[in-house]
Structure 1
Amino acid sequence: MIGEPELDGEQGWEGERAGPHGAGHEEAERARGARPPWVWVLLTAAAVSVLWAVGLYAFGDRLAAPPLSYRATTNLCEDFRAEALGRIAGDLHRNRKVNQESGHPAVDGAVCLLQSGQEVSTLVVRAHVDLHKKTDPEAEFDVPALGEGIGGAAPDSEPVPGLGERAFVTREAHGAASMLKVLDGGAVFTVRASGFVNNDGVPAADPAVLRKALIDDTRRLMADLKERKR
């Protein structure tokens, strides 16, 4: 009489054995050699971790804090003289100034707002300095500010050679405002000047004159905030 097959813990069902070289033996060998799916998951995760570590090591210089070449300002409106811009619309320091500084473990920031008039201004200037103490700002330097180009044509930008590590001037489409942005020594300098446009659509300040004044005053500010080596 044929009995029920007996369960063999090593080679499967007793009734399916086909000898040491039969099909049952081969399937048992494959079963013993196969790894559970979670083992492959762990091995894949380990490999990815190794590659990630290698990537961090290879690009560590980009992730590391940049060597700062500038000092934090305690009063940007005092350090930012804006003499060249003042020759366009009058002394920008004679009227009310808005000054603000902030200290943070990652970034020291400072903002100064100047205007040519007390009630009505022909020129408004905003200077902004950020000292990045944790990560290099180079990767984000070319990211446009939110809102640029909204409601009209995208602004025109051109590089400024010989100023910091990288610099460019952006001029808005209608020509009434220009912005200079400079990256150097872990710091980002941004100076924006905006004026009025007359009824004929002509800006109060010649764009070429405004561009040169932005560069001259920002260069002077960078020299004044330059960290002196002891």
Structure 2
Amino acid sequence: MISDPELDGAGETRPAQPAEEPPPRGGEAAGAGARRPWLWALGGAALASVLWAGGLYAFGERLAAPEISYRATQNLCLDFEARALSRIAGGLHRYRPLNRQDDHPAVRRAICQLQNGESISTLTVHVRVDLHRKTDPGPEFDALSIPLFAEMDPRRAEEVRGLGERALLLVGPGGGSVELKVLHGGAVFTVTATGTGSAPDTPADTSALRAAMVEDARALLTALKE
């Protein structure tokens, strides 16, 4: 509606301004205002989808089956000749080697146990080969308790260079047990030597045992290499 004419400061009349129209309700303005957050939400959802897809792809890369460059052994006690260990502890294959395989869809596992005596032995050797088919064993390998061993005695844990991707030697309390673990792709090799009786009882005395374990583990990796 139009109001009555008004007088300005000079006594002249000027047309009255149209009365301010109330904002439309539910019309175009409301629709335009509603479209903006909708488009923003749509753009945000698209961006989130892209980021989610990228993250899923990266996650899938981490979960991809690890590369295995070693064949599955049919008889680990035959493939693990233990020549170096036999030189320092006597023939390890003469006394009923124990051999076992487990063909699980996630991990193909082979186990061998050797000892240098029939009823009484001074050295028992456990060998295990795990071929991981589904997930990368690297993070689990890195979670080994090497810091705990190092806190107890720095001489009890050491890295072995030039064997697989990573290799660790762990000496148990008293030096009566030594474990060598080797990681290479999806394959994990474990050799554990446990002594009794006249076995070495200090880390310093296990130097020959550790060297023999590394030599025999290297020979096993070569024997199973595809």
Q: How would you bin the TM-score normalised by the shorter chain?
A: 0.7 to 0.9
Aligned residue in 1 for 2:18: none
Aligned residue in 2 for 1:210: 209
Are the counterparts in 1 of residues 171 and 203 from structure 2 also a CA contact under 8 Å?
no
User: Partner letter of residue 213 of structure 1?
Assistant: A
Aligned residue in 2 for 1:58: 58
Instruction: Give secondary structure in 2 for the equivalent of 1:77.
Output: helix
The 3 A distance-change label for structure 1 pair 52 and 191 is farther
Q: Deviations over 1:165-198 (max 9, x none)?
A: 1111111121111111111142110001010266
Shift, 1:204, TM fit: 11
Size of the aligned set, in residue pairs, is 200
Using the TM superposition, name which of 97-106 and 71-80 deviates more: 97-106
Shift, 1:203, TM fit: 5.3
User: Partner letter of residue 20 of structure 1?
Assistant: P
Q: CA RMSD in A?
A: 3.7
Shift, 1:202, TM fit: 3.1
Aligned residue in 2 for 1:221: 220
Are the counterparts in 2 of residues 196 and 203 from structure 1 also a CA contact under 8 Å?
no
Using the TM superposition, name which of 74-83 and 49-58 deviates more: 49-58
Shift, 1:59, TM fit: 4.9
Instruction: Give secondary structure in 1 for the equivalent of 2:174.
Output: coil
Question: Percent identity of the aligned residues?
Answer: 52
The 3 A distance-change label for structure 1 pair 159 and 205 is closer
Aligned residue in 2 for 1:196: 196
Shift, 1:217, TM fit: 0.3
Counterparts of residues 42-57 of structure 1 (less than 5 Å):
50-57=50-57
The 3 A distance-change label for structure 1 pair 142 and 82 is same
Counterparts of residues 1-16 of structure 1 (less than 5 Å):
none
The 3 A distance-change label for structure 1 pair 55 and 125 is same
The 3 A distance-change label for structure 1 pair 94 and 45 is farther
Q: Distance in 1 between matches of 2:192 and 2:116?
A: 14
Are the counterparts in 1 of residues 175 and 203 from structure 2 also a CA contact under 8 Å?
no
Aligned residue in 1 for 2:130: 130
Q: Which has the higher helix share?
A: 2
Structure 1 unaligned regions, length at least 5: 1-18, 35-39
Q: Distance in 2 between matches of 1:107 and 1:215?
A: 24
Q: Distance in 1 between matches of 2:45 and 2:104?
A: 36
Shift, 1:211, TM fit: 0.8
Aligned residue in 2 for 1:3: none
Are the counterparts in 1 of residues 174 and 203 from structure 2 also a CA contact under 8 Å?
no
Shift, 1:97, TM fit: 1.6
Instruction: Give secondary structure in 2 for the equivalent of 1:141.
Output: helix
Q: Distance in 1 between matches of 2:202 and 2:116?
A: 15
Instruction: Give secondary structure in 2 for the equivalent of 1:216.
Output: helix
| Structure number with bigger Rg | 2
Aligned residue in 2 for 1:175: 175
Q: Deviations over 1:89-135 (max 9, x none)?
A: 11011112211101122221100011111112111100000111222
The 3 A distance-change label for structure 1 pair 128 and 57 is same
Q: Distance in 2 between matches of 1:130 and 1:198?
A: 31
Structure 2 unaligned regions, length at least 5: 1-20, 36-40
The 3 A distance-change label for structure 1 pair 198 and 62 is same
